[in-house]
Amino acid sequence: MSFEAREAIVRLLKGVFYKEDEEKAWYALLQEEASIKEYLQTIGLELLIDSAEGFAYVRNIENEDEQKSLSKLVSKRELSYKVSLLVVLLRKRLVDFELQNDNYKAVVTLEELQEEMQNFVQERYNEVKLQKEIIATIKKVEELGFLKKLNTKENTYEIRPAIKAFVDAQWLGEFDKKLKEYKGYYQ
């Protein structure tokens, strides 16, 4: 296995791997896909590649048949309300953007994100605290690989296409159920 293929595996184990982040490793991933998949399967992971959008990620192999299954290498984490809310808002923006534009990246400003988040967050009594929490939430979503801060403009972010693979109809349904519970708790 080439150095670039091993680099691709390391990037996959860290999270979503985008073609634009390391093109040599990306092409090695595509060229050596079979051997990389085989390696990842030995440690209980499944490789998923979206060549059209230019990203790949791994997830745990779900084996219902095996009595003994491997420990989960990729942990599932419950997202906080604010992180989930921001992810849903970004997914909706991406859908709207794709309906209007074909060849451009979906871009959003910090101010737009703050405005949208404020519509859903109860804590309006302390504006400074709220803004800090929103910025922390944005950073968490960046760490998940769904947002990328652009260097060209200050406080501008690209909505990354991997969000489509993680936020599907089932996920949105589960979030909607939790949102109703959350609203019921605060009413």
Are 175 and 124 in the same domain? yes
Are 49 and 119 in the same domain? no
Q: Which amino acid is at 163?
A: I
Residues linked to residue 46 through DSSP beta bridges, in sequence order: 59
Are 48 and 89 in the same domain? no
Q: How far apart are CA 11 and CA 57, in angstroms?
A: 9
Q: How far apart are CA 120 and CA 84, in angstroms?
A: 12
Give the distance from CA 183 to its chain's centroid. Answer: 25
Are 164 and 86 in the same domain? yes
Q: How far apart are CA 12 and CA 30, in angstroms?
A: 13
The predicted model scores a pTM of 0.66
Each residue's pLDDT expressed in tens, for the chain with a length of 187 residues = 889 888 899 988 888 888 888 889 899 999 999 999 999 988 888 899 988 888 898 888 876 555 455 556 555 666 777 888 888 888 888 877 877 776 678 888 888 888 888 777 665 667 778 788 888 888 988 888 888 888 876 788 888 888 877 776 666 667 667 666 655 554 4
Which are the contacts of 169, defined by CB distance < 8 A and separation ≥ 6? Answer: none
Q: How far apart are CA 11 and CA 144, in angstroms?
A: 13
Which structural domain range is residue 47 located in?
3-60
Residue 43, both tokens: 């440690």
- CATH classification at residue 152: 1.10.10.2260
Q: Are 91 and 163 in contact (CB under 8 A)?
A: yes
Own/partner pairs, 72-75, CB within 8 angstroms, 24+ separation: 72/44, 73/13, 73/43, 73/44, 73/45, 74/45
- Residue 100 maps to a domain: yes
Residues 170-185: b if buried by 16+ CB within 10 A, e if exposed: eeeeebeeebeebeee
Instruction: Find, among 78, 77, 81, 79, the residue nearest to 182 by Cα.
Output: 81
Q: How far apart are CA 185 and CA 122, in angstroms?
A: 12
- CATH classification at residue 53: 1.10.10
For residue range 51-93, list pLDDT tens digits in order. Answer: 888 889 888 887 655 545 555 655 566 677 788 888 888 888 8
